[in-house]
Amino acid sequence: MSPDVFIAGGGPAGSAAAILLARAGVRVTLAEKRREAHHKVCGEFVSGEAVETARDLGLDLSALGAVPIQVVAYATPSGGVVRRTLPFPAVSLSRLVLDEALLGAAEAAGARVLRGVSVQGFDLDPDGGTTVRLDGDGPVQVPAFFAATGKHDLRGHARPEGRQGDLVGLKMLYRRAVAPSDPVVTIVPFRDGYAGLQPVGQDAVNLCLLVSRRRFADHGGRFDDLVRSLVAEAPEIARQLDGAEPLLDKALAVTRIPYGYVRRVTEGPWWLGDQAAVIPSFAGDGIAIALESARQAVDTLLSGGTAAGYQRRFASTVSRQVGAATVLSQLMVRPSWQRPSALLAAVPGVLAGIGLLTRVRLPTGA
């Protein structure tokens, strides 16, 4: 039997949409190209809005091992660190765990979840429906197609470069030699990029960084060489990685991230998550945006609205946050701005203000 909705991608956006649709009694199939649970390039900072939406979707993030994050720290070029209480609740949680729990919840809600199945593309049918092409399986005709493939564009539907598209994202998990004394997310600007360091679980730290393609190429595209030079350049990275052991065989990488992109129109599909809008990573709100896109798309579909209407409304929900975060992200990677930005970060209220400015929606607990 054909589904009413077909979803490409089992990240936060696709899974959340599958849960909400299945709960509403809609026949929904989701295809996730990866067969197994996997790590993703992510700071693993789950903001308060995302925590609340995940709770509404039936997930208990504490039970999954989430660690509350209460403090944001901003490292200065002179080696100091400005610390401020986060103006909203947040947690740290491995994406491998979070994304798998969301997919499991989708299946439990009644969605059909296909693992190891990749969507190759889609064709718009004259009757307004969509034919979805799958690898290794026949095409599926559906009334509605949700595209939630995150950083991977569907063939023939590449997103434009965005406003800050020249950064490479890299991530490595380390076992720390010394357990962190308190739950802090630390942002460390460096020449041509910035890093986020955050505890994950009891004794691991996640190093997630964004660096210009040019600087990464200067290090031969080798993560270890880049990290060695950052340890020499940024005392806070040296301090947190002192004696730490890598936990992954190799660093994860993602290129061509169209930061600042917001999709305003659609020719047919319902574009969700990173396919709808891409907020710079330091904001730590991409997961919340992905979940919110799912909520808005499903609400619109269930109330008889159109994909075009949803896309317009969602773009207007997120464009201010994405725009503000992109301007700040562009300044953060500019060497001439790193000293002034450290001075600015030390002014009471500034870090909290930036945190609030870059939320898609304030958590009610804030």
Residues that bind ligand FAD (CB under 6 A): 8-14, 31-34, 40-45, 47, 118-119, 148-152, 169, 208, 210, 254, 257, 273-274, 281, 284-288, 290
CB closer to ligand FAD, 17 vs 26: 17
Minimum CB separation from ligand FAD for residue 34, in Å?
5
C-beta separation of 11 from 151 below 8 A: no
Tell me the three-class secondary structure of the chain, residue by residue.
CCCCEEEECCCHHHHHHHHHHHHCCCCEEEEECCCCCCCCCCCCEEEHHHHHHHHHCCCCCCCCCCEEEEEEEEECCCCCEEEEEEEEEEEECCHHHHHHHHHHHHHHHCCEEEECCCEEEEEECCCCCEEEEECCCCCEEECEEEECCCCCCCCCCCCCCCCECCEEEEEEEEECCCCCCCCEEEEEEECCEEEEEEEECCCEEEEEEEEEHHHHHHCCCCHHHHHHHHHHHCHHHHHHHCCCEECCCCCEEECCCCECCECCCCCCCEECHHHCECCCHHHCCHHHHHHHHHHHHHHHHHCCCCHHHHHHHHHHHHHHHHHHHHHHHHHHCCHHHHHHHHHHHHCCCHHHHHHHHCCCCCCCCC
CB closer to ligand FAD, 42 vs 72: 42
**C-alpha 24: how far from its chain's center?**
26
CB closer to ligand FAD, 158 vs 343: 158
CB closer to ligand FAD, 38 vs 339: 38
CB closer to ligand FAD, 331 vs 346: 331
CB closer to ligand FAD, 282 vs 341: 282
Minimum CB separation from ligand FAD for residue 237, in Å?
16
Which residues lie across from 196 on neighbouring strands?
187, 208
Minimum CB separation from ligand FAD for residue 276, in Å?
8
Distance between CA atoms of residues 273 and 278, nearest Å: 8
Minimum CB separation from ligand FAD for residue 343, in Å?
25
Minimum CB separation from ligand FAD for residue 167, in Å?
8
**C-alpha 73: how far from its chain's center?**
20
CB closer to ligand FAD, 112 vs 346: 112
CB closer to ligand FAD, 87 vs 150: 150
Minimum CB separation from ligand FAD for residue 316, in Å?
19
**C-alpha 147: how far from its chain's center?**
16
C-beta separation of 211 from 170 below 8 A: yes
C-beta separation of 335 from 56 below 8 A: no
Minimum CB separation from ligand FAD for residue 28, in Å?
14
CB closer to ligand FAD, 62 vs 336: 62
CB closer to ligand FAD, 121 vs 346: 121
Minimum CB separation from ligand FAD for residue 78, in Å?
26
Minimum CB separation from ligand FAD for residue 204, in Å?
15
Minimum CB separation from ligand FAD for residue 283, in Å?
8
